[in-house]
Amino acid sequence: MKTGQQYRDSLKDGRTVYIDGKQVEDVTTHPAFCNAIDTVARMYDFSSSPQNERLMTCQNTDEDRINRIWQLPKSYNDLVERRKALEAWGQLHAGFFGRSPDHVASCIAGMYMGRDIFNAYDPKRAQALGDYYHYASSNDIFLSYVIINPQGELPASGETAGRRRLAASIVDQDSSGIVINGAKMLASGGVMAHEVLVTCIQPLPVGDEALAFSAVVPMNAPGLRILSRKSYETGTGSVFDYPMSSRFDENDAVLVFENVSIPWERVFIIDNREMCQKQFMATPAHVYQNYQAMIRLKTKLLFLVGLAHRTTEINCTARFPQVREILGQLAAEVGMLDAMVAGMEAKGSEVGPYFIPDRHSLYAAQTLTQQLYPRFIEQLRNLAGGGVIMLPSSIKDFDNPEIMKWINESQSSPIVDAHDRVKFFKLMWDAIGSEFGSRHTQYEMFYAGASYVPKNHSFRTFDWNGSATRVDTMLASY
């Protein structure tokens, strides 16, 4: 089990990260990333703490225990135990780390559970995947993934033929492995991960075989450039002013591969468009990674609904029936997701020796929550009114007795003093309205693909025959 300090030390590995026009020497001390890295370190301290052993770890071999994020559930009970571990971990960041280490671990574990599919494709690549699962689980590796091509990438054939490619593709291979060149979007958590799974989940047309690979690359691989977006952590001033941005900005980065060599032991698919789809859809990987996402989102919504309720307490608005209706609606929506997660588990099924959450229940939840999140945030804004804006400019105002006097005069509530009122509304704003909060709306709307993507998964996995039978039965009854 990895500790927080081991995790921090492991990131001092010479990775090439760029931000604000400069290369970063050490991500663990850089003001754009250090607090978020501390948050992940706290997660590793939590999972490696002896007092959390039962909650956070499971038996791997007779001697070894591993982080439950790598667990391969064999029963409903295993699945529930693992979910409890994910919930406990998610609470350390209130569900705001979308790609915390449990996300891609779930994907790799899902691929491993479906390794028969890889075996049928190529036993050597299946062996590489199996070995990698064992390596990653026993070393508690933090993986990010880039499974989408940059916007603007167009098929190699047809009228766009001959155009310069943006997306990472195989440019060479020999007895030692493959070489890739090009870009991928969008490595959330990539700056603070150990390794990245590079592949393509988007269906690829004939002719795009060079883009159809699946492989794992360490973040310090020679030739890998990590181009960070703007940091929301930098310049936040104090945790008091930006309690979320300053600690939970997982970062997103475009990855550019410049002739990056990947040894065969880390290559799971090569030149195979169909297999790129199958690694997610024909194995439990896609269900398993997105089941993790729903557990995380549940944790987040439970926190956000708490913010909504506290807002109405502080502003004494809970007495209005219309406000209670909004709270009731939000509570119902969180309750729906809670029930859907429980439903995915209860309707789960055995796939070989493993127990997998129900596919359609998962896609139903993803389709609905993708639409739900922006509405949910809108209702929090609705409840907050100007309270999230009528705030002192920064914590420094509290140090000036003159200003403090007027803050006390203007910020009051029957249930909290001025300091705690300001503290609360700064938290509220950071969660729903700051640049960090706004990025989260974009994240929840897109991390699983644009809206037509989960809808198509829902369409694909629904029991249409069952519905057709009901229609036929009714038609035959008169």
Ligand X SMILES: Cc1cc2nc3c(=O)[nH]c(=O)nc-3n(C[C@H](O)[C@H](O)[C@H](O)COP(=O)(O)OP(=O)(O)OC[C@H]3O[C@@H](n4cnc5c(N)ncnc54)[C@H](O)[C@@H]3O)c2cc1C
Shortest Å distance, C-beta 39 to ligand X: 17
The verdict on 188 binding ligand X (CB under 6 A) reads yes
Q: Residues 119 to 158: which contact ligand X by CB under 6 A?
A: 145-148, 151
Nearer to ligand X, 44 or 280 (CB): 280
Q: Shortest approach of ligand X to residue 292 CB, angstroms? A: 13
Interface residue with ligand X among 360, 446, 455, 462 (CB under 6 A) is 446
Least Cβ distance, residue 427 to ligand X (angstroms): 21
Phi/psi at 72 (5° precision): -115, 90
Pick out residues in 224-263 that bind ligand X (CB under 6 A).
Answer: 252
Site mask for ligand X (CB under 6 A), range 396-435, x = bound: ----------------------------------------
Q: What are phi and psi of 107, to 5 degrees?
A: -65, -50
Which two structure tokens, joined as six digits, stand for 95?
A: 């569900």
- Choice from 452, 456, 460, 468 touching ligand X (CB under 6 A): 452
* Interior/surface letters 35-59, b for 16+ CB within 10 angstroms, e for the rest: bbbebbbbbbbbbbeeebeebbbbe
How many residues bind ligand X, per CB under 6 A? 19
* Residue 437 binding ligand X, by CB under 6 A: no
- Do strands 224-228 and 16-19 pair parallel, antiparallel, or not at all (unpaired)? parallel
Angle at 112 between CA 108 and CA 117, to 5 degrees: 120
Q: How far is the CB of 51 from ligand X (least distance, A)?
A: 32
- Interface region with ligand X, contact rule CB under 6 A, candidates 6-14, 113-121, 181-189, 419-427: 181-189
Coil, strand or helix at 76: helix
- What SS3 state is found at 446? helix
Closest CA to 380 of 388, 390, 368: 388
- β-pairing verdict for 354-356 and 349-351: antiparallel
Pick 60 or 441: Cβ nearer ligand X: 441
**How far is Cα of residue 241 from the mean position of the Cα atoms in its chain?**
25
Phi, psi of 240 (to 5 degrees): -60, -45
| Rounded alpha-carbon distances, angstroms, from residue 413 to 125, 131, 327, 408, 418 | 63, 59, 20, 10, 7
Sheet with 253-263, edge to edge strand ranges:
22-23, 16-19, 224-228, 253-263, 177-184, 169-174
Question: For ligand X, which is the closer residue by CB, 66 or 281?
Answer: 281
* Helical axes 101-113 vs 76-91, angle rounded to 10°: 160
As given in the structure block, the two tokens for residue 236 are: 């936040």
Q: In terms of CB distance, is 242 or 443 closer to ligand X?
A: 443
* Nearest by Cα to 303 from 365, 243, 235: 243
Smallest distance from ligand X to CB 244, Å: 15
Question: Cβ closer to ligand X: 45 or 252?
Answer: 252
Candidates 443, 454, 457, 458: give the one binding ligand X (CB under 6 A): 443
Residue whose CB is less far from ligand X, 18 or 446: 446
Q: Mask of contacts with ligand X, 88-117, x by CB under 6 A? A: -----------x------------------
Instruction: Work out which of 101, 110, 114, 449 binds ligand X, going by CB under 6 A.
Output: 449
We find the least distance from the C-beta atom of residue 249 to ligand X, in angstroms, to be 11
- Of the two residues 98 and 284, which places its CB atom closer to ligand X in the complex? 98
* CA-derived radius of gyration, the chain: 24
Q: Which of 187, 212, 260, 407 binds ligand X (CB under 6 A)?
A: 187
Residue 71 CB, nearest distance to ligand X (Å)?
A: 22
**Distance in angstroms (rounded) separating the CA atoms of residues 439 and 445:** 10
Position among 390, 415, 450, 468 found at the interface with ligand X (CB under 6 A): 450
Least distance from ligand X to the Cβ atom of residue 115, Å: 22
State the nearest-atom distance from the C-beta of 103 to ligand X, in Å: 8
Chain residues in the site for ligand X (CB under 6 A): 99, 145-148, 151, 185-188, 252, 439, 442-443, 446-447, 449-450, 452
